[in-house]
Amino acid sequence: MNRLATSLSPYLLQHKNNPVDWYPWGEEAFESAVCEDKPIFLSVGYAACHWCHVMEHESFEDASIAALLNEKFVSIKVDREERPDIDQVYMNAVQVMTGRGGWPMSVFLDHQRQPFFAGTYWPPKQKFGMPGFSQILESLSEAWVNRRDEVLSHSGQITAALQQLADGTEENSDSDTTGETPENDLVLTACERLLEVLDLSLIHI
């Protein structure tokens, strides 16, 4: 069993026997990421989510993928029904960064909890035009180790642009203005540059 075994969440308890060394959301996870100098993999879902169960069976129960996660990342599992605040914050990022959202939500964070890569469901191996989860993990780990400054720079730009977008949305909530905003362009530009840094230009998230 992993650290989710003491959770009160039915969804988190479903993952207690995964070979992934899951942490619940909390300071222990973030301190471990800093101490071990690893990026954070945040997985958000809920008990009745079909694709959450599919990704668990295909990837989180797979010994090789679990070993990759345990070696190169600190993995956090969140129940969106238990922590809707966390879900909303990172779903906003996923939707702006990828143009869509959904669950399972899969987000990679730096030590400041800023997202630098995001998506939803990925199959374990590349198929149907989708990248494999193991491929994504290897590429992100390589970039974190060898091109950290560029990754952090662009993750900071993404977070700043997301904040500007959120501020603009609040200011214009009573207006009828629609369409692309300068802030959204900033997010898209930052994401495109980050994909180049990560050498993931062929990955469609």
Asked if the model's pLDDT at residue 181 lies above 70, the reply is: no
| 205 band by pLDDT with thresholds 50, 70 and 90 | very low
Mean pLDDT is lowest, of 12-16, 73-77, 128-132, for: 128-132
Q: What pLDDT is attached to residue 59? A: 98
Provide, rounded to the nearest whole percent, the portion of the chain with pLDDT above 70. Answer: 80
Least confident range from 44-58, 100-114, 151-165: namely 151-165
Is residue 153 in a domain? no
- Residue 56, in any domain of the structure: yes
What pTM does this model have?
0.85
DSSP structure string for 119-179: ES---SS-BTTB--HHHHHHHHHHHHHHSHHHHHHHHHHHHHHHHHHHHHHHHTTTS---S
Q: Is residue 109 part of a domain?
A: yes
Q: Does 36 map to a domain?
A: yes
Domain ranges, residue 38: 3-146
Structural domain contains residue 101: yes
- Calculate ∠ Cα 175-99-79, nearest 5°: 100
Q: What's 131's domain CATH number? A: 3.40.30.10
Number of domains in the chain: 1
Question: How far is residue 115 from each of residues 5, 39, 67, 127, 160, measured CA to CA in Å?
Answer: 27, 10, 23, 25, 11
Pick the closest to residue 120 from 143, 97, 153 (CA basis).
Answer: 97
Helix (H) or strand (E) holding 18: none
Q: Is residue 170 part of a domain?
A: no
38 in a domain, yes or no? yes
CA distance 151 to 139: 12
Measuring CA to CA, which residue among 56, 199, 41, 58 is closest to residue 126? 58
In a domain, 135, yes or no: yes
Mean pLDDT, rounded, for 137-151: 92
Please give the pLDDT value at position 180. Answer: 47
Asked whether the predicted pLDDT for residue 9 surpasses 70, the reply is yes
Question: DSSP label at 14?
Answer: T
| Nearest alpha carbon to residue 43 among 16, 14, 80 | 80
Evaluate if residue 174 carries a pLDDT over 60: no
What pLDDT is recorded for position 203? Answer: 44
Lowest mean pLDDT among 42-51, 74-83, 140-149: 140-149
